[in-house]
Amino acid sequence: MNTRSRTFSFATAVIVCLPQLLIAADPKSAASKPETRPDADFYLQGEYATDFSADPGRSSSIGVQVIALGDGKFEAVEYEGGLPGNGWNRASPRKYAGETTSAGRAELAGDGRRLVVRSARAQIVDDSGKEIARLRKCLRVSPTMGARPPAGANVLFCGRDAREFVTGTVTLDHFLVAGVDTKEKYGDVTMHLEFRTPYMPAARGQARGNSGVYIQGRYEVQILDSFGLSGADNECGGLYKQRAPLLNMCLPPLTWQTYDIEFTAPKFAADGKKSANARITVRHNGVAVHDDVEITAKTGGGAAEAPEARPLKLQDHGNPVHFRNVWIVEGKVDRRIDDACNVCR
């Protein structure tokens, strides 16, 4: 195993994995099951950011996440300062609930305010109807989206085939379906992958876009459609049932997202006893949600801890979660990553 530290820039790295990155993420072709296909609610859900504030005393922005719950029902979360990873000041968010109207918009109420959502715009008003703020819809993109593998990386999936896995399925859109194990076994690694959760508005909790990255088949970084939730240890970005992410950086379903992971395997003494815990850094959409933290034990369903390296698993949990641009490097890689999700566009 080569554990030398490697340094590279995302902008200048060797191009290895281009074809599948050029494929548009068309929501209409994103899922084959009827319950995961976009509906009218899909085009109202998403992220919105301040375009105008009617409050002269307001110096900060507002970010809003609108979550589709099925059958025209919605919840929304308002963040003071901006969206998570783009200015939110960590003050307690304001929550809204409501539904669509015959006019095709969603109207939600919460704490003396109303939120009116159209396909590309939103408006916050008080109970008297006075406008507080106007917002526009945002499409945020991770700063590491499309990251190219450095020399010496093992490109696990590039949109062509699943030959690096024991078994695997590739969609007609050239994406990898969850439920694969690598042929190779790994110890200390740096890895990049891009994933997309399905649109399942009627589902709740762990039934909503569930998968996971099982490093060594032992330690799980959770994948879940937890867009708009608080960010628990069993939600997206969590070290499953061990540690919640520092920030919930989950983007809306059917949006491509990134994980950039640095993992150091646990150490074992000659007698086989563990002498040092595994350590991990996880960047979710460019933001460090775990920064060189200990993993104290294996994930419940994972393989037993041991000195031996094991394969990487992308978990199948019964939901159509897809992957692209998956690569892995043995050892550490010095990388320059902006600690923010790209601003709205």
- Please determine, for residue 162, whether its predicted confidence score (pLDDT) is greater than 60: yes
Instruction: Choose among 326, 333, 324, 141: nearest CA to 215.
Output: 326
Residue 72 to residues 43, 163, 188, Cα–Cα distance (Å) = 11, 42, 46
pLDDT at 334: 75
pLDDT at 339: 59
**What is the mean predicted confidence (pLDDT) over 79-85?**
96
Structure token digits, residue 47: 């992220």
Examine residue 225 and state whether it is found in any structural domain, yes or no.
yes
- Residue 153 burial (10 A CB sphere; 0-12, 13-18, 19+): buried
Longest dimension (CA), the chain: 72
pLDDT-derived band at 35, boundaries 50, 70, 90: low
Instruction: Give CA–CA dist 39/127, Å, rounded.
Output: 30
pLDDT at 213: 98
Is residue 159 domain-shared with residue 236, that is, in the same domain? Answer: yes
Strand partners, 310: 186
Looking at the structure of the chain, the number of domains it has is 2
Q: How many beta carbons lie within 10 A of that of residue 43, not counting itself? A: 15
- Please determine, for residue 177, whether its predicted confidence score (pLDDT) is greater than 70: yes
Instruction: Give CA–CA dist 182/198, Å, rounded.
Output: 23
Is residue 189 domain-shared with residue 129, that is, in the same domain? Answer: no
Q: Say which residues have a Cβ less than 8 Å from residue 262's Cβ, sequence separation at least 6.
A: 189, 190, 280, 281, 292, 332, 333
Is residue 21 domain-shared with residue 52, that is, in the same domain? Answer: no
Q: What is the mean pLDDT of the chain?
A: 88
- Please determine, for residue 114, whether its predicted confidence score (pLDDT) is greater than 90: yes
Terminal Cα distance for the chain, rounded: 42
Tens digits of residue pLDDT in 274-330: 999 999 999 999 999 999 999 999 999 899 999 999 999 999 989 999 999 999 999
Instruction: Give CA–CA dist 214/132, Å, rounded.
Output: 45
Is residue 105 domain-shared with residue 232, that is, in the same domain? Answer: no
Examine residue 345 and state whether it is found in any structural domain, yes or no.
no
pLDDT at 219: 98
- Please determine, for residue 23, whether its predicted confidence score (pLDDT) is greater than 50: no
Which residue, of 138, 164, 180, is where some domain finishes? 138
Instruction: Choose among 100, 80, 98: nearest CA to 89.
Output: 80
Is residue 278 domain-shared with residue 325, that is, in the same domain? Answer: yes
- Please determine, for residue 188, whether its predicted confidence score (pLDDT) is greater than 60: yes
pTM over 0.85: yes
* Residue showing tokens 């078994």: 167
Tens digits of residue pLDDT in 235-253: 999 999 999 999 999 999 9
pLDDT at 9: 34
Is residue 47 domain-shared with residue 18, that is, in the same domain? Answer: no
3-state secondary structure of 46: strand
Is residue 107 domain-shared with residue 243, that is, in the same domain? Answer: no
- Please determine, for residue 218, whether its predicted confidence score (pLDDT) is greater than 80: yes
pLDDT at 2: 42
pLDDT-derived band at 56, boundaries 50, 70, 90: low
Instruction: Choose among 41, 128, 39: nearest CA to 76.
Output: 41
Is residue 298 domain-shared with residue 211, that is, in the same domain? Answer: yes
pLDDT at 278: 98
Query: Cβ distance 234 to 240 under 8 Å?
Result: yes
CA pseudo-torsion sign 80, 85, 89, 91: positive
Examine residue 161 and state whether it is found in any structural domain, yes or no.
yes
pLDDT at 324: 98
pLDDT at 214: 98
pLDDT at 301: 87
3-state secondary structure of 28: helix
- Please determine, for residue 98, whether its predicted confidence score (pLDDT) is greater than 60: yes
Percentage of the chain lying above the pLDDT 70 cut: 84
Which residue, of 105, 138, 171, is where some domain finishes? 138
- Residue 4 burial (10 A CB sphere; 0-12, 13-18, 19+): exposed
Instruction: Give CA–CA dist 286/27, Å, rounded.
Output: 23
The angle subtended at Cα 345 by Cα 338 and Cα 33, nearest 5°, is 100
pLDDT at 332: 85
Which residue segment(s) compose the domain that 246 sits in? 6-30+141-334
- Please determine, for residue 1, whether its predicted confidence score (pLDDT) is greater than 50: no
- Please determine, for residue 24, whether its predicted confidence score (pLDDT) is greater than 90: no
Return the minimum-mean-pLDDT range out of 5-14, 221-230, 266-275.
Answer: 5-14
pLDDT at 7: 36
For the domain that residue 281 is a member of, what is the CATH number? Answer: 2.60.120.560
pLDDT at 12: 29
pLDDT at 34: 55
Q: E strands within 210-309?
A: 211-215, 219-223, 257-264, 267-268, 274-276, 278-284, 287-295
Examine residue 1 and state whether it is found in any structural domain, yes or no.
no
Which residue, of 103, 138, 173, is where some domain finishes? 138
Query: Cβ distance 325 to 192 under 8 Å?
Result: yes
- Please determine, for residue 233, whether its predicted confidence score (pLDDT) is greater than 90: yes
